[in-house]
């Protein structure tokens, strides 16, 4: 019943999505329309599945095409920072094979330490991309591995919407499922991590997450080992893909625990969880990076505790059949209160000392974590920006779920509450909230449409068509007949306004995707007044210069943000990179950047640095440059070397951070400042501003006469965005510390003596030689 | 003379970890040579009529630090913690040309205090750990801050548990309310609304309730930037979100309940109005914060 009535609406939804996504609009509109208008009502089941299939296909298409902004505007290129590492290791995998990849020791990262890549990554992403590449090549479709990597996330977004459809169908009904699939296909909260080119773990992990949840709900519903094993396999894929699997291994036990509290224990639950826990545990330990963590660390203990509790509970249930009532009650009270108490307090203890608080703590205390913008708490604007109307309507869906509770709706309610908490703590966890918001909003909207669109359908359809839904319809018909004309108009208005809200959602999603989430950040674009576009390709220009003009084993020092890109694009050895596992090494680089030149030279010599790469945005007004990140370098350096670096030295006495004449002398003479503004003082950008005017910080720089002693400028890109300096080698022989004036006196003295015909002492003669040199 | 001063200071500090000073004492024991001990002085205004809430917080942290020092094994006569209250030693404030409280200063055992001997309260804050770091920097005395364990959280939890337990015990014959879905649904929605309106952000960042423009006294409840928010603003958003959700629920109620048709129509219209109006309102607030956002609905 519900499906019939709601289905045409989803068609509208899907086509409006596709239209919003700019591409494929004509096709989407026409095929969606024909699906709805065709009079295939004689076979309801066939009609329904065809429509579902079409809608899911269109959702996939809309999701895929709305992720292509960056590819169309720029080119097929890997984005940002982390994806470059993933791409590099995928490339390594495809060229050297699986075992080489697992044993890969990357000596080009973290010089001189190196990095064991095979044991410190979640390999799922690379293996997926590598497998697709392999299969395509077997079929003689010769694509480059880069293209596979670029388009992997958009393709997987389609799979995500299908698994969301499946999960929502299990939770509510098919109509809500279709709506949820459409939502998740285009919602910005998920697009932010899965545009074409952002080749990152999250892109495939959200699919794995949703699919695991679907299989879990399915196995709780059926109680069959088959579904539980399928759930484990999906969980295994998730573990191999993303560290966020911890969320699953805590949520599913929580679900079981709450079901026990609600006295909803059943054999089905027992079979599902026992199978899931044991097989899932063994499988998850097969990933080298995870190893023995599942039986060691606190995040995984809740799962073990609930497993024990479930066994105890089942055992008691078994005893209940064997013992007398009196005996049993005593035993029951003792056992259950003890076990429940222990488990409950363990869970509470773990949630408090586990992930979220850990992050909260880290955020306050460790500069390197605080410096990453993804680890900030979330404002309401971010929620609204990423979810738009869904964030306002999903509580309604949650309400409906709790009011009509059953086993699997307990699950979705727990999912919603825990995910919303984590999303509030940390911006990046918005990603785990997005799917559940889509599902619950879809439930809310589908509920409304079921009631208000149903009216329309009834009026249009002659009453004697569906024999199966006959009674139901007549009932509702009778109910609404009393309302008469006005009622009909009201429901029309409701439908129209709801559709309008959904349309606005689609438009919002497209706008956000296009404007906020489709920048590769490797290539920048600027727009002129007439709308024409300038491409600033400085990053790749500089990296390519490094690749072509430096020694193959040259070591490049830069701030950690650019480590992966240098390794990926320039193929040179880096000191630190985005895998920020070694704080002291990063602090050493930070110290070099924030010391004066000669102190920095000592550090750079000890680290064998050949080149230094910095990002400077003062010419074009690029705000994400190294001077703006500089205080973090100082803070991180101060954390490890408090005697040498002090943050307060870099501020003016008034506590300001300024680069102009009023800035602190320590800042004006540190290496980073010198490298950023070297020769910049001679440069006049336009006639209104003095030479050496920094556009990012809107200030005339304070130190225009910069001379470098141990470094020399090697390369500066077209818009000065990337500047590379060569570290000069030491002189063959170091000059003495003696003052030259002393020597010349000595020289005079010696010559006098020589003239006097006496033999000069040997030391003096040596000194004279040195002076002459 | 020196030995006498040290003895006097030791006696005071054995009685109280923070020595209270007035103008005369300050001049005799802190300013005047000869000295072989460092003194940390907190200049503050703790009298209630001064209404200095920061002073009180700073004082607590300072007491924690002084106690850590007083009862540590490294306690010696090299370092003393003192306090000068404005109402007891206003002349000291004038003498040092000081016009803000609280201020922490270090008077080294030799020579005059330098610039770095004034603690940079604005930038670092006044946590005891930061103070200890600063003291270690100035005097080479390492103090491990030992905070008296805070039992208030545990006590609150125990109270809550016993309250809930007591309630359950009293109503043990009628435990129906535990199975009340509406109650649970309400609780779940409360969590959701609190999070989606950014209460966690408020909790971590501690923004002001609203901003009052000092020039014209205008109060703005909405922060102009999309990166930040006021507490009042997050409450407004919470209400808007709740209203929209309620609208959706009402729309559903209107259609599914079996009641008077006219009443149901009104409920339906009210629900629709809630959803549409408050959503456009929310959108307009969002638009005012997120500059360059092009879309609006009903309300500009």
| Ranges A187-196, A287-296, A484-493, A764-773: which has the least confidence | A764-773
Q: Which residues have a Cβ under 8 Å from the Cβ of A332 and sit 6 or more positions away?
A: A316, A320
pLDDT at A739: 60
Residue in chain A nearest B227 by alpha carbon: A379
More confident residue, A642 or A502: A502
pLDDT tens per residue, range B230-283: 999 999 999 999 999 999 999 888 888 777 888 888 888 899 999 999 999 999
Query: Taking 90 as the threshold, does the pLDDT of residue A138 lie above it?
Result: yes
Q: Sorting pLDDT into bands at 50, 70 and 90, what band is A756?
A: very low
**How close, in Å, is residue A444 to chain B by CA atoms?**
7
Residue A463 has pLDDT above 50, yes or no: no
**What is the C-alpha radius of gyration for chain B, rounded to an integer number of angstroms?**
29
Confidence (pLDDT) at A156: 94
pLDDT of residue A580: 73
Residues of A in contact with B158 (CB under 8 A): none
Whether B175 and chain A come into contact, CB under 8 Å, resolves to no
Of A381, A416, A448, the CB nearest to B251: A448
Find chain B residues with C-beta within 8 A of A5's C-beta: none
The confidence score (pLDDT) of residue B126 equals 77
Q: Give the nearest partner residue to A490 out of B226, B234, B269, using CB atoms.
A: B269
> What is the full DSSP assignment across A155-191?
HHHHHHHHHHHHHHHHHS-HHHHHHHHHHHHH-HHHH
Please give the torsion angle defined by the CA atoms of residues A83, A89, A92 and A96, in that order, rounded to the nearest 10 degrees.
-140
Q: What is the pLDDT of residue A47?
A: 87
Question: Taking 70 as the threshold, does the pLDDT of residue A371 lie above it?
Answer: no
- Which of B201, B261, B282 comes nearest A377 by C-beta? B201
Q: Please indicate if any CB of chain A lies within 8 Å of the CB of B282.
A: yes
Q: Considering all CA atoms of chain B, what is the largest pairwise distance in Å, rounded to the nearest integer? A: 97
Q: Could you tell me which residues come within 8 angstroms of residue A28 by beta carbon, excluding any fewer than 6 positions away? A: A14, A15, A17, A18, A19, A58, A61, A62
- A482 pLDDT tier (thresholds 50, 70, 90): very low
Q: In which band, very low, low, confident or very high, does the pLDDT at A642 lie, cut at 50, 70 and 90?
A: confident
Backbone angles phi, psi at A329, to 5 degrees: -60, -40
Residue B55's CB: how many other CB atoms inside 10 A?
22
Closest CB from A384, A398, A451 relative to B188: A398
Question: Percent of chain A beyond pLDDT 90?
Answer: 35
Q: What pLDDT score does A543 carry?
A: 92
Name which of A676-690, A758-772, B195-209 the model is least confident about: A758-772
Q: What average pLDDT does the segment A567-574 reach?
A: 90
Which pLDDT band holds residue A9 (cuts at 50, 70, 90)? very low
- DSSP percent split of chain A into helix, strand, coil, nearest 5: 65, 5, 30
Residues of A with CB below 8 A from B197's CB?
380
Q: What is the per-residue pLDDT across A702-724, written as a single tens digit (0 to 9) for each?
A: 888 888 888 899 999 988 889 99
pLDDT the model gives residue A474: 40
Mean pLDDT of chain B: 83
B275·A501 Cβ contact <8 A: yes
Residue A375's pLDDT is 74
Q: What is the pLDDT of residue A256?
A: 93
Q: Do A448 and B252 touch (CB under 8 A)?
A: yes
Q: Residue A392 and residue B245: Cβ atoms within 8 Å?
A: yes
Residue A373 — pLDDT band, cuts 50, 70, 90? low
Give the residue on A whose Cα is nearest the Cα of B267: A490
For chain A, the farthest-separated pair of C-alpha atoms sits apart, in whole angstroms, at 134
Cis peptide upstream of residue B34 (ω within 30 degrees of 0): yes
Query: Mind listing the pLDDT tens digit for each residue in A154-187?
Result: 999 999 999 999 999 999 999 999 999 999 999 9
Q: Is the pLDDT score of A15 beyond 80?
A: no
Chain A residue nearest residue B191, CA to CA:
A417
Q: In this complex, is the C-beta atom of B242 within 8 Å of any C-beta atom belonging to chain A?
A: yes
Q: Which residues contact B33 (CB under 8 A, 6 or more apart)?
A: none
Q: Would you call A424 and B294 a contact, using CB atoms and an 8 Å cutoff?
A: no
Instruction: State the average pLDDT over residues A325-334.
Output: 76
Across the interface, do B226 and A421 touch by the CB < 8 Å criterion? no
Q: Is residue B99's pLDDT more than 80?
A: no
Residue in A341, A381, A450 to test binding to B, most B beta-carbons within 10 Å: A381
Percentage of chain B beyond pLDDT 90 is 16
**Cα A511–A517–A521 angle (5° rounding)?**
135
pLDDT on residue A738: 61
- pLDDT at position A352 is 57
pLDDT at A366: 53
Buried b (16+ CB within 10 A) or exposed e, A14-30: bbbbbbbbbbbbeebbe
| Confidence grade of residue A759 (pLDDT, cut at 50, 70, 90) | very low
Q: Is B130 on the interface with A (CB under 8 A)?
A: no
- What pLDDT is recorded for position A67? 92
Count of CB atoms situated within 10 Å of the CB of A593: 27
Q: Do the Cβ atoms of B265 and A487 come within 8 Å?
A: yes
- Residue B182 contacts A where some CB pair is shorter than 8 Å: yes
User: Is it the case that residue B51 has pLDDT exceeding 80?
Assistant: no
pLDDT at A126 over 90: yes
Instruction: Name the H helices within A516-641.
Output: 538-549, 563-565, 583-594, 597-606, 626-640
Report d(CA A179, CA A11) in Å as an integer: 9
Q: Which long-range contacts (CB under 8 A, 24 or more apart) does A725-731 make?
A: A725/A611, A725/A612, A725/A613, A725/A614, A725/A675, A725/A678, A726/A610, A726/A611, A727/A601, A727/A604, A727/A605, A727/A609, A727/A610, A727/A611, A727/A612, A730/A605
Nearest chain A Cα distance for residue B151, angstroms? 16
Of the candidates A344, A248, A275, A333, which has an alpha carbon nearest to the alpha carbon of residue A305? A344
Output the average pLDDT for chain A. 81
Record the tokens describing residue A667, joined without a space.
């800042």
Q: Over 80: is that where the pLDDT of A189 sits?
A: yes
Query: Among A521, A570, A562, which Cα is nearest to A541's?
Result: A570
In this complex, is the C-beta atom of B213 within 8 Å of any C-beta atom belonging to chain A? no
**Which of the residue ranges A205-209, A222-226, A427-431 would you say has the lowest mean pLDDT?**
A427-431
Say yes or no for a CB contact (<8 Å) between A381 and B282. no
Q: Shortest CB distance from A396 goes to which of B228, B229, B245?
A: B245
Whether residue B196 and residue A383 make contact (CB cut-off 8 A), yes or no, is yes
Q: What is the pLDDT of residues A36-70, one digit of tens each?
A: 444 445 667 888 889 999 999 999 999 999 999 98
The whole-number pLDDT of residue A454 equals 64
Interface probe, candidates A380, A446, A653, chain B, greatest B C-beta count within 10 A: A380
Which range is most confident: A388-392, A520-524, A624-628? A388-392
Nearest residue to A16 via CA among A508, A517, A515: A508
SS3 A106: strand
pLDDT surpasses 60 at A593: yes
pLDDT of residue A353: 55
Q: Across the interface, do B245 and A508 touch by the CB < 8 Å criterion?
A: no
Structure-model confidence comparison of residues A59 and A480, the more confident one: A59
* Contacts (Cβ under 8 Å, ≥6 apart) of B90: B23
Question: Do A399 and B184 lie within an 8 Å CB cutoff?
Answer: no
Residue among B200, B228, B264 with most chain A CBs within 10 A, to mutate? B200
CA angle A436, A17, A440 (to 5 degrees): 20
The secondary structure element, H or E, covering residue A64 is helix A44-66
Size of interface A-B (CB pairs under 8 A): 155
What confidence tier does A344 reach under pLDDT thresholds 50, 70, 90? Answer: confident
Convert the pLDDT of each residue in B20-30 to its tens digit: 888 888 888 88
Q: Measured between alpha carbons, how far is residue B107 from residues A729, B4, B59, B79 in Å? A: 47, 19, 19, 10
Give the pLDDT band (50/70/90) at residue A316: confident
CA–CA separation, A536 and B165 (whole Å)? 66
Closest-approach residue (CA) in chain A for B184: A402
Residue of chain A with shortest Cα separation from B236 = A380
Flag whether pLDDT at B182 surpasses 80.
yes
Q: How confident is the model at residue A468 (pLDDT cuts 50, 70, 90)?
A: very low
A314 three-state secondary structure: helix
Nearest to B188 among A402, A425, A648 (CB): A402
pLDDT band per the 50, 70, 90 thresholds, residue A230: very high
pTM of this prediction exceeds 0.90: no
Contact status of B189 with chain A (Cβ, < 8 Å): yes
Confidence of residue A725 (pLDDT cuts 50, 70, 90): very high
Contact across the interface for B193 and A395, Cβ inside 8 Å: yes
């Amino acid at each position: 019943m519900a499906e019939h009535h709601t289905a045409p609406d989803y068609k509208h939804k899907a086509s409006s999505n596709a239209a919003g996504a700019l591409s494929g609009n004509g096709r989407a509109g026409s095929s969606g329309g024909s699906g709805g208008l065709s009079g295939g009502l004689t076979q309801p089941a066939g009609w329904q599945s065809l429509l579902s299939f079409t809608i899911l296909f269109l959702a996939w298409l809309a999701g895929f095409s709305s992720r292509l902004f960056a590819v169309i505007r720029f080119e097929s290129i890997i984005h940002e920072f982390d994806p470059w590492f993933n791409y590099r290791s995928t490339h390594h995998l495809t060229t050297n094979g699986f075992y080489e990849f697992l044993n890969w020791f990357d000596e080009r990262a973290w010089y001189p330490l190196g990095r064991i890549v095979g044991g410190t990554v979640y390999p799922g992403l690379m293996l997926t991309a590598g497998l697709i590449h392999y299969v395509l090549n077997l079929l003689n479709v010769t694509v480059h591995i880069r293209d596979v990597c670029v388009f992997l996330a958009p393709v997987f977004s389609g799979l995500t919407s299908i698994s969301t459809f499946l999960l929502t169908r299990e939770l509510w009904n098919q109509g809500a499922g279709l709506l949820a699939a459409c939502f998740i296909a285009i919602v910005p909260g998920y697009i932010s991590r899965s545009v074409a080119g952002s080749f990152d773990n999250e892109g495939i992990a959200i699919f794995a997450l949703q699919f695991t949840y679907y299989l879990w709900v399915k196995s709780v519903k059926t109680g069959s080992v088959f579904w539980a094993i399928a759930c484990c396999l999906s969980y295994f894929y998730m573990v191999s893909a993303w560290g966020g699997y911890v969320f699953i291994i805590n949520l599913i036990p929580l679900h079981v625990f709450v079901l026990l509290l609600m006295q909803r224990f059943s054999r089905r639950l027992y079979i599902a969880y026992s199978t899931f826990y044991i097989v899932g545990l063994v499988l998850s330990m097969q990933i080298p990076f995870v190893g023995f963590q599942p039986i060691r660390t606190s995040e995984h203990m809740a799962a073990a505790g609930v497993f024990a509790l479930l066994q105890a509970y089942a055992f008691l249930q078994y005893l209940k059949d064997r013992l007398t009532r009196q005996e049993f009650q005593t035993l029951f009270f003792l056992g259950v209160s003890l076990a429940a108490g222990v488990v409950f307090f363990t869970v509470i203890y773990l949630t408090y000392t586990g992930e979220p608080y850990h992050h909260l703590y880290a955020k306050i205390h460790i500069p390197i974590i605080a410096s990453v913008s993804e680890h900030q708490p979330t404002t309401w604007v971010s929620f609204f920006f990423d979810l738009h109307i869904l964030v306002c309507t999903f509580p309604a869906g949650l309400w409906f779920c709790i009011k009509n509770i059953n086993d699997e709706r307990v699950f979705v309610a727990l999912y919603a509450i825990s995910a919303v908490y984590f999303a509030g703590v940390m911006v990046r966890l918005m990603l785990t909230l997005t799917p559940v918001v889509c599902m619950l909003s879809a439930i809310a909207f589908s509920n409304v449409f079921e009631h208000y669109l149903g009216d329309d359908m009834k009026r249009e359809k002659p009453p004697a068509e569906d024999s199966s839904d006959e009674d139901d319809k007549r009932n509702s018909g009778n109910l609404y007949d009393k309302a008469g004309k006005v009622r009909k108009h009201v429901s029309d208005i409701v439908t129209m306004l709801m559709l309008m809200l959904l349309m606005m959602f689609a438009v919002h999603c497209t706008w956000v995707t296009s404007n906020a989430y489709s920048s590769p950040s490797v290539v920048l674009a600027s727009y002129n007044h007439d709308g024409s576009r300038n491409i600033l390709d400085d990053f790749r220009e500089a990296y390519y210069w490094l690749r072509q003009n430096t020694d193959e084993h040259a070591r490049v020092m830069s701030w950690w943000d650019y480590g992966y890109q240098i390794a990926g694009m320039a193929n040179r050895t880096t000191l630190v990179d985005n895998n920020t596992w070694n704080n002291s090494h990063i602090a050493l680089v930070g110290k070099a950047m924030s010391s004066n030149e000669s102190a920095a030279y000592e550090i750079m010599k000890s680290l064998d640095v050949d080149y230094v790469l910095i990002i400077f945005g003062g010419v074009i007004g690029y705000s994400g440059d190294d001077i703006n990140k500089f205080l973090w370098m100082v803070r991180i350096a101060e954390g490890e070397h408090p005697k040498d670096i002090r943050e307060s030295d870099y501020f003016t006495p008034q506590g300001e951070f300024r680069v102009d004449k009023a800035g602190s002398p320590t800042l004006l003479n540190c290496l980073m400042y010198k490298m950023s503004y070297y020769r910049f003082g001679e440069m006049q950008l336009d006639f209104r501003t003095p030479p050496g005017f920094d556009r990012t910080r809107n200030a005339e720089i304070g130190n225009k006469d910069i001379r470098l002693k141990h470094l020399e400028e090697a390369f500066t890109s077209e818009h000065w965005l990337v500047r590379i300096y060569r570290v000069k080698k030491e002189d063959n022989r170091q000059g003495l510390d003696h003052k030259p004036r002393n020597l010349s006196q000595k020289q005079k003295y010696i010559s006098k003596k020589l003239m006097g015909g006496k033999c000069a002492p040997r030391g003096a003669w040596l000194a004279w030689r040195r002076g002459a040199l | 003379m020196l030995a006498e001063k040290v003895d006097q200071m030791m006696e005071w500090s054995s009685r109280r970890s923070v020595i209270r000073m007035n103008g005369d004492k300050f001049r005799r024991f802190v300013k005047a040579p000869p000295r072989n001990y460092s003194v940390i002085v907190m200049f503050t205004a703790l009298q209630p009529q001064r209404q200095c809430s920061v002073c009180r917080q700073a004082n607590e942290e300072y007491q924690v630090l002084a106690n850590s020092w007083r009862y540590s094994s490294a306690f010696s006569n090299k370092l003393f913690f003192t306090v000068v209250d404005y109402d007891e030693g206003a002349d000291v404030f004038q003498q040092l040309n000081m016009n803000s409280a609280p201020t922490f200063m270090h008077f080294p055992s030799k020579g005059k205090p330098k610039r770095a001997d004034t603690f940079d309260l604005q930038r670092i804050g006044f946590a005891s750990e930061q103070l200890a770091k600063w003291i270690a920097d100035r005097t080479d005395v390492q103090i491990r801050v030992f905070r008296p364990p805070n039992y208030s959280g545990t006590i609150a939890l125990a109270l809550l548990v016993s309250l809930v337990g007591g309630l359950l015990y009293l109503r043990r014959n009628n435990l129906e309310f535990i199975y009340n879905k509406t109650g649970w649904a309400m609780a779940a929605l409360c969590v959701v609304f609190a999070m989606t309106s950014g209460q966690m952000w408020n909790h971590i960042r501690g923004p002001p309730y609203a901003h009052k423009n000092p020039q014209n006294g205008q109060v703005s409840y909405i922060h102009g930037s999309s990166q930040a928010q006021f507490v009042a603003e997050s409450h407004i958003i919470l209400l808007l979100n709740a209203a929209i959700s309620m609208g959706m629920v009402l729309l559903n109620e209107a259609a599914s309940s079996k009641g008077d048709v006219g009443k149901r129509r009104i409920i339906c219209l009210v629900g629709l109005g809630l959803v549409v109006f408050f959503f456009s309102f929310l959108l307009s607030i969002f638009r005012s914060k997120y500059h360059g956002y092009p879309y609006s609905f009903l309300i500009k």
